Structure 1
């Protein structure tokens, strides 16, 4: 019995760790905590049957933490996500009503070029406090698990927020022509909005971290 419980606990812990670390969305993260809960119960059983009170007590505490994680992601966060999704759907179904897009949905959303091909994913969105508008969107391209990725700032005027992701007016080549930004020093101001048929889409960063279109 202890051996079986130990194998179940080990497998559950490893699977749950991958599910939560991958950050694949609310539901996957929530179910990761469900699997963590199974692992905690199994480890506690191992501790009790092998007379290891420290193992049992530790996983008894982790059981409570994991149950909170289940409520946090499959309960509270899932309700919020459902609410935002329904608001998006209702706004698109009504005429003369601006379409809505959840800010939380933007993070991690796929970015498509003008041909409909995936060119990256959204890392974050930066907002202008004074004008209360979206300043720019940072997208990630290339790399594996964040290692070796390239970050670029895209002006919101070039983006369309749709239900299947974010569509950019630029081609993949034009997006690649935009100079990467420093992952630790993002621009303090928005990059200029460029027409989709612009031929010069490269940017040079000044010493102040601003973007300027090259002549």
Structure 2
């Protein structure tokens, strides 16, 4: 048992860390916590069979934390995602404005009108007085946010579709924004287009 748990524990922990860090949606994150739970149970077993009480107690606690993560992402968040998806699908079939989940604006691929992935969505800035979205912040390049260049796209240049955002803007013609200092209004930054 000791040898088996000594293999399962680090492999499960490393795999789970990759799954949760990838931020690929509630279900992948939830399954990451399932794998974390397998890892923490294996570490608990290893701690118990080798007489390492600190490892045992730490991983008993982490097992409880991981089970909360499973409930949070595979239970609660997955249900909320399903509810948002159902509302969006129903709105497409009814004589009503088409809806989308605002969570789409964080982490969705940004596509050109030709269907080419040109970046990914980071966040959106909305006006307090009416809740309307003023602009979308998108990232291009880099790996895991490292070396990424951020741009602000006016909301009027975007179309939101299920699980993606489409634009007619060419990111290469836009002035990058400072990751620590986003604009209050796009029109104060000369429309962000170079030469304009």
- Settle same-fold status: TM greater than 0.5: yes
1:45 alignment counterpart: 45
1:212 is matched with 190
**Aligned twin of 1:66:** 66
Within 5 Å, give how 1:12-161 maps onto structure 2. Answer: 12-94=12-94, 96-161=95-160
Unaligned runs of 5+ residues in structure 2 are none
Partner residue in 1 for 2:175: 179
Structure 1, residues 169-212: CA drift from partner, whole Å, max 9, x if none? 23xxx3210100001101011x24xxxxxxxxxxxxxxxxx311
Unaligned residue ranges in structure 1 (runs of 5+): 193-209
CA distance in 1, matches of 2:179, 2:79: 33
Q: What SS does the aligned partner of 1:79 have? A: helix
Q: Is the 8 A contact 2:104 2:163 kept in 1?
A: no
1:19-63 CA distances to partner (integer Å, 9 max, x unpaired)?
111111111110000000001111111111111111111100100
Matched with 2:3 is: 3
Distance 2:100 2:174 in 1: 26
User: Whose helix fraction is larger, Structure 1's or Structure 2's?
Assistant: 2
- Write the deviation string for residues 111-164 of structure 1: whole angstroms up to 9, x where unpaired: 111222111100001101123210100000011111111100000101011124
Question: Where does residue 163 of structure 1 map in the other structure?
Answer: 162
Superposed CA deviations along residues 43-93 of structure 1, whole A, max 9, x for unmatched, are 111111111111111100100000000000000001000000000000001
Mapped partners of 1:15, 1:160: distance in 2 = 35
CA RMSD of aligned residues (A): 1.2
Contact 2:111–2:167 (CA under 8 A) maintained in structure 1: yes
SS in structure 2 at match of 1:5: helix
Q: Please identify, of 73-82 and 114-123, the stretch whose mean Cα deviation from structure 2 is larger.
A: 114-123
SS at 1:212 equivalent:
helix
